[in-house]
Chains A and B, each alone.
Chain A
């Protein structure tokens, strides 16, 4: 597990800085230092707590530089059918925010972890146990026992390095950004093909860690072609000094190679991996079998990304 105290206290100076000067999480910055970053996503708890843990560890063995861990929400409006399916399986198996943080603490991986979830779970968050973060909060007046501050405190304590919240636009993000700054977490924003002008500027002022470049319009899901909207988006962001990671639709090593060759600093892959988990469920594969397939898919994608350099 990544050293959680490092992110909960004063972050070390990092190469990547937000334009307003706040330091980014040093572990995430470091993940982009040695060539293009491969950033896989899985929904935590899909199809069970134990199997999911094996799967995430397999991705780390397969060459993940950062892992996005989905915290399942009942109304995932940015997700296509594949990830919706994963979220339903995880919720049916009993995943909750507090269980999710236990999962993160249980993981035996040494890459930075980014929590991807929807704002209501952050807004409603209420810690149900005893923790350093909670005691510190209680000691300082206890204002943060619920909501964004409590969520981020608990995430930092569990070892999360950053957050992606697809239904939280930059305009509504100030409370969460303040909490992230306090705990040294990065807040990653998604730039869509439709994002231009002032909105782009407003995101540039608030983003840290990396920017999630949405390769095409629509919801998450694999596509055989990766849109030329990607090239245009990367072009628009060329002035930004945060790393640019491209997601939405990447499913093969060749696609990963192409995306990196066109200027991306990293690739984000979710649905193509969740498809393997779903196939495992449908075909009754053993946990080991599914984990092995995930590891080899991760290797293919990581190698593809490296070739594109």
Chain B
């Protein structure tokens, strides 16, 4: 990269100063029409989230407990602990209302929109987890809500579409490109550009222009806050490692945030390796979503970060067996922590993730989301590196993925899968 890229002010890891920069990453690369809204949001973030003005954070935490069911348990996984000869603990975000960590952020942002006096919510969704969480939060707080979802994702995640509609949200299909999360984010930004005066955009991950990456991290940081106190209570020490899957990176940063300064705690971000880590430049396709492991620096959806892109800067179509990880970018803070050597990125491919899905299901009685399953693929593939206490963030449950899991299991040779042939064509 040219020297122009190194002229930004340096900021420390998780801090992000007023300009929202993490090293060279982050910033506010958005159309001019959105800048005033982003500045308004930055002010609201500082007042209500950082300074708890009007008791915002107190109300947020109360609603997370009453409506969301926090705190979620930290549970020892006995079979996995035996298998890997170390103590494996599960942070059960799958038990949060809605079945995934996503509610932390959705509830926080919809509540913030109310404090800001906005009267409409829009959001994008990939797997549908953020969409369903936003729809639940919007219904809970009585806000009209429109969700943009790629057409391909709608087909992959039909039950989640029904859940959003049951909660009273309008679901708009996005047909551009390959019809996944990247296109849904672009389309939501277009809606926001037209409706910015009355509408808040509830972004679903630690991506986008400042203050979204820090704000979404702060709403999810309750995960690592609980892991800290629970591991002290239950184990008497901090864990030796925290492992989380990473797409955009919201559950990842949520699980890491309060450990960033504890250099003795290893932080492992498990990305979707898809079918291969190589790229097809001709077709503009990267058959993975491993932007931390393989991406280059660039600017997408309002922030400078690591991206899957071709040599001229066009954004690649990513791929993963799990639609929630299927994104060509990643949160700027995570990209920075990887460059700093604080977070270790690893890629786990579709096959290993599917094996991880079956392993957690049949040994621990927990059916994980396909996103989460990547973290269990990591435990298996890197078991020789594991020691002491390892906490895995179970970011979501797998009910939404049953159909995809059955189809993918049938299409592959998964050594630890049950015989699913009885379901052939019947679902």
Contacts and interface: CB of A to CB of B under 8 A. Distances in A.
Interface of A: 73-80, 84, 88, 91, 96-98, 118-126, 143-150, 166-169, 171-172, 174-175, 178-179, 189-196, 199, 203, 214, 217-219
B299 to A, nearest CB: 4
A75 B197 contact: no
A11 B192 CA distance: 40
B315 A75 contact: yes
B302 to A, nearest CB: 8
Leading 10 A-B pairs by shortest Cβ distance = A124-B313, A218-B194, A147-B2, A192-B33, A175-B4, A74-B314, A121-B313, A194-B36, A120-B299, A78-B31
Contacts, number: 142
Contact of B315 (A74, A148, A193): A74
A193 B314 CA distance: 30
Contacts of A122: 313
A154 B29 CA distance: 23
A118 B111 CA distance: 33
Interface in B294-313: 296-302, 304, 307, 309, 311-313
Given A194-B36, A199-B35, A167 B29 contact: yes
Contact of A217 (B30, B194, B314): B194
A74 B284 contact: yes
Nearest to A119: B299
Given A73-B313, A147-B5, A148-B4, 7 more contacts: A123-B298, A124-B312, A143-B3, A146-B1, A174-B7, A192-B32, A192-B35
B315 A219 contact: no
Contact of A169 (B35, B195, B301, B314): B35
A76 B176 CA distance: 11
B7 to A, nearest CB: 7
Contacts of A118: 299
B193 interface: yes
Contacts of A149: 2, 4
Contacts of B193: 77-78, 217-219
B186 A77 contact: yes
Interface centre among B32, B197, B298, B307 (most CB of A within 10 A): B32
A200 to B, nearest CB: 10
B299 A123 contact: yes
A146 B312 CA distance: 11
Interface centre among B28, B33, B186 (most CB of A within 10 A): B33
A192 B31 contact: yes
A72 to B, nearest CB: 8
Contacts of B301: 75, 77
Contacts of B4: 147-149, 175, 178-179
Given A147-B4, A147-B5, A172-B27, A120 B32 contact: no
